[in-house]
């Protein structure tokens, strides 16, 4: 059920408390719509070709269905897959390596990244101040201001992203007693709880930690270790939420898997051993998760109950 005021942040009853500091940046209709315009504006990039929405498409839970690695200005190929944007208000850290710890500072990383939007924040702010439509929109959102500044812009972005809440999948309806899961879905749920829940835990379907899930023996991308500068984090990446996972292919930090079947096949017999491999996947001589083809099928059937059609069709997004 949609809230009476769709522009007001309302925590779903079965969700944890948000991590975002709303006291500093309460959401308003004007701020949200300004953030949406910024999110979709390619003029914020150096060659005026690339908006945030280029790599984060609403119809697939704000992921990128077309590219294994994100594509930026001048068709530059990025280093990682663009993750879905959903339930950001509840996340502690952002990006595959957790290099940002507050949602307000996510946009500058994309804007200034040479392989993404390749623009300086100062240039973006100057552009916004020269644009009459934007100056009017910022005044509507933040009051009678003399000029637009970076914090205002980042707050607008966050107002938009904070309302991108996915909480009405079939699984959510099941938790609330509004529907039943089928026999096959329940079997998949049980298998998921036995084999996957230690990492993809809670209603967010992520424990928000970092793990090496056995993709490689040596690491072209060091992942979390690039931030922590600790060799024990090499090959570890942020455990993604599985909400809307049916929609967010390709999978993994480098988009190497096209289907959920490929993902589960990896966990069954494709896990590679290395010094930092997650202990859940390293049981002595047995690597990975022993699953039959039938069990994999049941898990995928369950994972599809995490698809939230209301989320991807919400007209205000």
**Average pLDDT, stretch 164-174?**
98
**Per-position b or e across 1-18, b if 16+ CB within 10 A of its CB:** eeeeeeeebeebeebeeb
- Three-class SS of residue 124? helix
Residue 58 is given by DSSP the state: G
Residue 284 has pLDDT above 80, yes or no: no
Residue 156 has pLDDT above 90, yes or no: yes
Residue 285 has pLDDT above 80, yes or no: no
Question: Tens digits of per-residue pLDDT, 213-266?
Answer: 999 999 999 999 999 999 999 999 999 999 999 999 999 999 999 999 999 999
Residue 151 has pLDDT above 60, yes or no: yes
The whole-number pLDDT of residue 3 equals: 63
Q: How many helices (H) and strands (E) does the chain have?
A: 12, 4
The whole-number pLDDT of residue 155 equals: 98
Distances (CA, A) of 74 to 46, 49, 110, 212, 260: 9, 8, 15, 32, 31
The whole-number pLDDT of residue 286 equals: 83
**Average pLDDT, stretch 292-313?**
98
User: Mean pLDDT score of the chain, rounded to an integer?
Assistant: 96
Active site residues: 116
**Average pLDDT, stretch 187-212?**
98
Residue 72 has pLDDT above 90, yes or no: yes
Question: Tens digits of per-residue pLDDT, 103-120?
Answer: 999 999 999 999 999 999
């Amino acid at each position: 059920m949609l809230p009476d005021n769709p522009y007001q942040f309302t925590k779903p009853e079965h969700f944890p408390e948000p991590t975002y500091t709303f006291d500093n940046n309460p959401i308003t209709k004007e701020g949200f719509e300004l953030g949406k315009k910024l999110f979709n504006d390619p003029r914020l990039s150096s060659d005026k070709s690339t908006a945030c929405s280029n790599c984060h498409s609403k119809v697939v839970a704000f992921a990128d269905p077309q590219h294994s690695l994100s594509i930026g200005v001048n068709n530059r190929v990025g280093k990682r897959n663009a993750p879905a944007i959903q339930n950001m208000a509840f996340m502690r850290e952002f990006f595959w390596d957790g290099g940002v710890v507050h949602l307000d500072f996510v946009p500058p990383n994309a804007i200034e990244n040479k392989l993404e939007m390749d623009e300086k924040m100062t240039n973006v702010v100057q552009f916004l101040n020269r644009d009459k439509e934007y100056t009017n929109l910022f005044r509507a959102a933040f009051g009678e201001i003399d000029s637009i500044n970076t914090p205002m812009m980042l707050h607008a972005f966050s107002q938009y992203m904070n309302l991108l809440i996915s909480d009405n999948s079939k699984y959510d309806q099941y938790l609330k007693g509004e529907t039943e899961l089928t026999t096959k879905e329940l079997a998949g749920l049980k298998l998921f709880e036995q084999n996957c829940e230690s990492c993809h835990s809670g209603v967010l379907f992520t424990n928000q930690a970092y793990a090496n899930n056995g993709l490689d023996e040596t690491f072209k991308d060091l992942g979390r270790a690039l931030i922590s500068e600790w060799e024990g984090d090499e090959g570890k990446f942020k455990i993604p939420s599985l909400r809307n996972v049916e929609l967010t292919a390709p999978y993994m930090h480098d988009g190497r898997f096209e289907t959920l079947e490929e993902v589960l096949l990896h966990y069954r017999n494709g896990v590679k051993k290395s010094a930092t491999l997650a202990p859940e996947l390293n049981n002595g001589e047995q690597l990975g998760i022993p699953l039959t083809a039938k069990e994999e099928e049941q898990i995928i059937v369950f994972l599809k109950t995490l698809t939230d059609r209301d989320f991807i069709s919400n007209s205000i997004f």
